[in-house]
Amino acid sequence: MKPVEISHEELSDLIGLIYESALEDPQWKRFLDRMAQLFPATSAMVLGHQGNRLFPAYTGTGVRHERFERAGIECDLVNRRNENALASLVTMPNGFVARTRKLTDPEVFFSSNFHRTLMAPVGQGHFMTLKLDSHSDRGAFIVFSVSADPELEAATHDPLFETLKLLAPHAVRALKMARALTLTRNALSVMGGFLDTIVLPMVVVTGRAEFVFANAAGRRLLAREVPMRVAGDGRLAMRDARDARAFAARLREMEGQPVAGGLRIEGAGGPLSLCFTPFRPSLSDVSPLDRDLLQEERLFAVFIGQRGGDAINLGLLRDVYELTAREAEVCAALLAGQSPAQIADGSGRALKTVRNQIQAVREKVGVTTVADLSEALSVFRTVGAVFDGGVGPPQLTGGGRHVG
């Protein structure tokens, strides 16, 4: 049998299928079915684990042992460093593709109880795992096993491995997108429009600063990468090192005592106030995989605003109301008491241009007068209540099964 070859068109279709199937129920099923068609005699499952024990398979395709449908399977495989191979997955970066050919000693692999009782009886030999995500000692991955038949293994193993390396970043991204969409939809329904009313940028993270999702204003703030961004490892990173240390310290405090708290940072366009509050969405509608991963994870919502005495941060105006840079400047000037003529003189723009920008600001904010504009922007001060001794934003809770 000739080695399997995947065309550019087939690879492109697989990438699209990853994103589509991540949003479907059962999650990943169509993607796994297509992989089984392209790589004959292979089998695939989506599995989760805690430590060295597996959760029941979430979905799969091809031949597999019936015991994978039960909870509590113990994996006795050890890697070449004599570490439990399953437990060591949580230390690997998301998207890492590991294969037993390299991960374990062949003699150890084929003599393990895991292989002898679960893989060999259904004609499967080596396998490889694509890590999707992990939290604490829990993780999730897609496992692809190849036939124990030498000819079939030679034709499928290496092409499958090379294909998975190309698909892995998309699988990780698709899982995060599906999770964000589900949690956002769930939060909006549980909070009865609260997130729509509070238009401040909101970012939800774990206690280790791992990014989970953000509202629309939060996504715009992260896209600007001021004062924070999502780093390559999936964690929220602050631009300033001191702010980063303070942010991490605040999350540690929240894990110990989950009550609303605040942090003040010096943003590029003026000081910003961050409010931290426990975020406990219902997990009843998320995928079974996410339910197992997140069921014991503390999540925190971070709202970004300002204190009452601070000058309006232009970046925040842009994030919240989708203003352009010049519209934000005009908005701030209006709130400072300047007339359209004064704004035109100070900016060197034509008065007509300034008036058009003022009209655009009013339409985007949804007001007709400067007084209304000032009142609308008072939402920025919601976060400042945490610092000024007032009552902070309400704790976000939902019904059903909870995180935390």
Please tell me whether the peptide bond between 26 and the residue prior to it is cis, using omega within 30 degrees of 0: yes
Q: How many residues are listed for the chain in this entry?
A: 404
Residue 403: the pLDDT is 28
- Amino acid, res. 87: A
Give the confidence band of 185 by pLDDT, cuts at 50, 70, 90: low
Residue 303: pLDDT over 70: yes
What HEC string does 113-167 produce? HHHHHHHHHHCEEEEEEEEEEEECCEEEEEEEEEECCHHHHHHHHHHHHHHHHHH
Average pLDDT over residues 267-290: 78
Residue 393: the pLDDT is 37
Residue 282: the pLDDT is 61
Dist. CA 219–CA 380, nearest whole Å: 17
Residue 392: the pLDDT is 38
Bigger pLDDT: 235 or 179? 235
Give the confidence band of 306 by pLDDT, cuts at 50, 70, 90: confident
Fold of 191-307+388-397: Beta-Lactamase (3.30.450)
Give yes or no on whether 8-175 and 191-307+388-397 have one common fold.
Answer: yes
Average pLDDT over residues 336-364: 94
Residue 100 half-sphere exposure, CB side, CA atoms within 13 Å? Answer: 25
Residue 228: pLDDT over 90: yes
Average pLDDT over residues 122-130: 96
CATH of domain 322-381: 1.10.10.10
Average pLDDT over residues 215-228: 89
The phi-psi region of residue 17 (left if phi > 0; otherwise alpha if psi is between -120 and 50; otherwise beta) is alpha
Average pLDDT over residues 112-133: 95
Residue 404: the pLDDT is 30
| Nearest to 191, CA basis, from 277, 291, 109 | 277
Answer whether 260's CB lies under 8 Å from 383's CB.
no
Residue 229: the pLDDT is 94
Residue 400: the pLDDT is 30
Residue 397: the pLDDT is 32
Residue 391: the pLDDT is 38
Domain ranges of the chain: 8-175, 191-307+388-397, 322-381
Per-residue pLDDT of 4-36, as tens digits, reads: 999 999 999 999 999 999 988 899 999 999 999
Residue 199: the pLDDT is 67
Average pLDDT over residues 299-305: 88
Answer whether 394's CB lies under 8 Å from 194's CB.
yes
Residue 249: pLDDT over 90: yes
Which three-class secondary structure state does DSSP give residue 97?
A: strand
Dist. CA 200–CA 219, nearest whole Å: 11
Residue 100: the pLDDT is 95
Bigger pLDDT: 133 or 197? 133
Lowest mean pLDDT among 161-170, 213-222, 318-327, 341-350: 213-222
Give the confidence band of 384 by pLDDT, cuts at 50, 70, 90: low
Residue 220: pLDDT over 60: yes
Average pLDDT over residues 89-118: 92
Calculate the CA 215 to chain-centre distance: 12
Instruction: Provide the mean pLDDT of the chain.
Output: 85
Residue 178: the pLDDT is 84
Dist. CA 203–CA 251, nearest whole Å: 13
Residue 285: the pLDDT is 64
CATH of domain 8-175: 3.30.450.40
Dist. CA 308–CA 310, nearest whole Å: 6
The phi-psi region of residue 41 (left if phi > 0; otherwise alpha if psi is between -120 and 50; otherwise beta) is left
Average pLDDT over residues 336-340: 91
Q: Which residues pair with 61 in a beta bridge?
A: 44
Average pLDDT over residues 73-82: 89
The phi-psi region of residue 37 (left if phi > 0; otherwise alpha if psi is between -120 and 50; otherwise beta) is alpha
Q: Which residues pair with 50 in a beta bridge?
A: 53, 138
Which three-class secondary structure state does DSSP give residue 292?
A: helix
| Nearest to 258, CA basis, from 369, 135, 392 | 392
Please work out, in degrees rounded to the nearest 5, the angle formed at the alpha carbon of residue 36 by the alpha carbons of 115 and 139.
55
Residue 277: the pLDDT is 83
Backbone angles phi, psi at 43, to 5 degrees: -135, 150
Residue 60: pLDDT over 90: yes
Dist. CA 88–CA 79, nearest whole Å: 9
Average pLDDT over residues 346-352: 94
